[in-house]
Structure 1
Amino acid sequence: MKGEFIVLRRVRGGDVDLVATLYGTHGKLTLFLKEGYLNENPLFGVFEPFNWVEIDFQQAGNIIIPNDVRRIKRLSYKARDYEQFLYMSKISEIVLWFVHSYDEKIYGLLLRELGKKVKNVNASVLRFYINLIELLGYTPKFLYEGKVRKRVRINLENGEIGKGNYEIKGSYIELLRKIKNMEDYERIKITRGSFREIEKFLKDFLSFHTK
């Protein structure tokens, strides 16, 4: 079989074997490479996080074993910059947590974002959440409608502001609307505390719909 994949995560299996989670044209799969951590392995260094690969492989259930690498884009090199590494790690984790099957648009979004130069990690991560939520088909009404007060209650089922089961600061909803609608959203400054609270809300929203 042949497929295109992005490496989301890589761990050591045993002492020298490599186990990686890939996302691509055959969905989200686990790759096993025997002795993949040995320097003399011809595929050593190929399945590093963030790399894009086109491979021939064998598949047994959710496990694939690579036979050959046809093409590779070593996007992992971009992660030498610390801010870039933080962003690439975060969006790979988001896909790992919340995307369960292949979607061409989500795959394209992830590939584009891994390849771009990020200027503002917090704003870019929140924009990625927004884009992903909409590509998954969950159009949250809080991004488009509803009066924002000091604190608002949100219905996680449809994202409507009003009588909901989730309470959050109204300023956070206004911030998300700005990030969605501004072309230069990376100029928006977001404190660590605000980012942590907003991300928790977006994770809870996605968890409600993808659990």
Structure 2
Amino acid sequence: MSAKAKIIVLRKILVGEWDLLAYAYGTFGRGRILVRKGFYPKNAYSAVFEPFNLLTLDYHQSGELLILNDVIDVEFYSYLALKDYRRFLWMSKVAHIIASWISYYDSNVFDLLQNYLRMDIKNYKVFEIKLKLELVRALGIYREDLFEGEMAKVVNEIDRECRVERLEKIFLSKPAFMEISEALEKMLKRSLD
């Protein structure tokens, strides 16, 4: 029995001689999609399954593995990573955060993933914290009492601000970034248990 899904490719690898295995997040949650002959030169699937692309596909399931039947639609976000190396690193970081901390489908998380992949930003530390804050809020696991004093002020400023221009101007020291990031990741880890 086949099903349809909207997904974002997080990464892809070669399996065997020509097959492609794509790690993706979409309406089935986080999963692996086998694309038979996906790396075959005459097959167009290799470019379609580039990381960061948004796809609508038809698939069937075999155990925990999803097998591609057909690609229905593609929105190419991968070209954004070609703009410069820093943009590629940012998009890779966003994909890594989703792959690491999110297992099940949530439409809010899917929308966040799309929005953050399309962002062209420079203040990576602040936007990484903003993404993690939005994830814990979307999952309903944010605790207001987690941060105190100056750290609480910084977190609240990042959390409340929605304008990219203003977020770009927020200074976040490396120790503060590490402390906030680790606390948010502990919250995200609890959501996986």
Shared fold by TM > 0.5?
yes
Please give the per-residue CA displacement for 1:57-115, whole angstroms capped at 9, x wherever unaligned. Answer: 12123211112211101101111122222221112111111111111111111112212
Give runs of aligned pairs for residues 90-129 of structure 1, distance below 5 A.
Answer: 90-129=93-132
Letter in 1 for 2:167: Y
Structure-1 separation of matches of 2:18 and 2:76: 22
1:200 to 178, 182, 189: 182
Letter in 2 for 1:96: A
Q: CA deviation at 1:16?
A: 3.2
User: Normalized against structure 2, the TM-score is what?
Assistant: 0.87
Determine the structure 2 residue equivalent to 1:182.
Answer: 161
More helix by share: 2
Gaps of 5+ in 1: 143-158, 162-169
Letter in 2 for 1:85: F
1:53 and 2:79 correspond: no
Gaps of 5+ in 2: none
Structure-2 separation of matches of 1:209 and 1:58: 28
The question of whether the paired residues in 2 share the 8 Å contact of 1:50 and 1:114 is answered with: yes
Structure-1 separation of matches of 2:113 and 2:132: 11
Look up the SS of the partner of 2:6 in the other structure: strand
Structure-2 separation of matches of 1:179 and 1:106: 18
The question of whether the paired residues in 2 share the 8 Å contact of 1:127 and 1:180 is answered with: yes
The question of whether the paired residues in 1 share the 8 Å contact of 2:39 and 2:45 is answered with: no
1:130 to 130, 133, 157: 133
Number of residues paired by the alignment?
187
Structure-2 separation of matches of 1:192 and 1:12: 36
1:77 to 49, 70, 79: 79
RMSD: 1.9
The question of whether the paired residues in 2 share the 8 Å contact of 1:83 and 1:118 is answered with: no
Larger Rg, first or second structure (1 or 2): 1
Q: CA deviation at 1:138?
A: 1.0
Structure-1 separation of matches of 2:91 and 2:121: 9
Where does structure 1 differ by over 3 angstroms across 4 or more consecutive aligned residues? Answer: 170-173, 191-194
Structure-2 separation of matches of 1:98 and 1:187: 27
Letter in 1 for 2:116: E
Please give the per-residue CA displacement for 1:12-55, whole angstroms capped at 9, x wherever unaligned. Answer: 22343211111111222210112322322231211111100011
Moved more, 23-32 or 174-183: 174-183
The question of whether the paired residues in 2 share the 8 Å contact of 1:33 and 1:66 is answered with: yes
Give runs of aligned pairs for residues 136-175 of structure 1, distance below 5 A.
Answer: 136-142=139-145, 159=146, 170-175=149-154
Determine the structure 1 residue equivalent to 2:92.
Answer: 89
